[in-house]
């Protein structure tokens, strides 16, 4: 709206995003929260002559993308005010409220409001799987001839699916503003 008092613009944006996977293609961590499940391959693979044979390989313990974050919802508000001065200059103020209703979802969004909502940063959600590589209570298995059993050969880390840091959640309500003079 324009008047002698200036120009005021309001903008609302509502966004929703489906949950995203927080495990790499169905595998989980070598040590709690780091990324890929591993098994010791030395007893099951003959070294073809490598100076340093591969001792640990990735293994997928459950279907790809089985574990996903929550659906995210967020409403943002923007306010712009502009007042024309004599001589063609104008004074302006721009303000934003990100996550207006302060809704929180476990999303693995990232460390700042600028990363929020653009996919998951799985390092922010505990996604560890324990195997005989990192737990003395679990038995090794031959990945070529045996099907691993949860609780015997592998297990989810006790903190699996929980936040590893505050960055696992959507950004809290955030206020941003700037102002100035345009010539």
Indicate whether 102 pLDDT > 60. yes
Number of independent structural domains in the chain = 1
Indicate whether 37 pLDDT > 70. no
Share of the chain above pLDDT 70, in %: 82
Share of the chain above pLDDT 90, in %: 27
Please name the residues in contact with 102: beta carbons below 8 A apart, sequence gap of 6 or more: 172, 173
Q: Dump pLDDT digits (tens) for 118-145.
A: 445 556 788 778 888 888 999 998 888 8
Over range 46-57, report the average pLDDT. 84
By three-state DSSP, how is residue 116 classified?
coil
Cα distance between residue 94 and residue 9, in whole Å: 9
Q: What's the residue count for the chain?
A: 183
Indicate whether 33 pLDDT > 80. no
Indicate whether 171 pLDDT > 70. yes
- Of the candidates 98, 101, 94, which has an alpha carbon nearest to the alpha carbon of residue 115? 98
By three-state DSSP, how is residue 124 classified?
helix
Q: Is the pTM higher than 0.85?
A: no
Calculate Rg over the CA atoms of the chain: 25
Task: Provide the pLDDT confidence category of residue 110 given band limits of 50, 70 and 90.
Answer: low
Task: Provide the pLDDT confidence category of residue 64 given band limits of 50, 70 and 90.
Answer: confident
Structural domain range at position 85 = 2-182
HSE-up (13 A, CA, CB side) for residue 39: 21
User: What is the rounded average pLDDT for all residues in the chain?
Assistant: 81
Q: Are 61 and 148 in contact (CB under 8 A)?
A: yes
Please name the residues in contact with 171: beta carbons below 8 A apart, sequence gap of 6 or more: 98, 99, 109, 112, 113, 116
Structure tokens at 106: 């476990």
Q: Are 120 and 69 in contact (CB under 8 A)?
A: yes
Q: Please indicate whether residue 22 or residue 81 has the higher confidence score (pLDDT).
A: 81
């Amino acid at each position: 709206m324009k008047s002698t008092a200036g120009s005021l613009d309001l903008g609302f944006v509502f966004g929703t995003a489906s949950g995203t996977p927080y495990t790499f293609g169905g595998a989980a961590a070598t040590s709690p929260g780091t990324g890929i499940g591993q098994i010791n391959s030395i007893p099951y693979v003959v070294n073809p002559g490598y100076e340093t044979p591969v001792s640990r390989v990735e293994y997928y313990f459950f279907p790809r993308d089985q574990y996903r974050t929550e659906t995210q919802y967020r409403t943002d508000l923007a306010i712009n005010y502009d007042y024309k001065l004599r001589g063609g200059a104008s004074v302006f103020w721009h303000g934003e409220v990100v996550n207006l209703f302060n809704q929180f979802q476990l999303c693995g969004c990232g460390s700042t409001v600028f990363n929020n909502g653009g996919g998951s940063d799985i390092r922010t959600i505990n996604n560890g799987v324990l195997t005989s590589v990192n737990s003395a209570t679990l038995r090794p298995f031959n990945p070529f001839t045996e099907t691993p059993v949860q609780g015997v050969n592998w297990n989810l880390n006790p903190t699996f699916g929980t936040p590893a840091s505050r960055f696992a959640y959507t950004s809290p309500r955030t206020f941003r503003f700037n102002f100035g003079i345009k010539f």
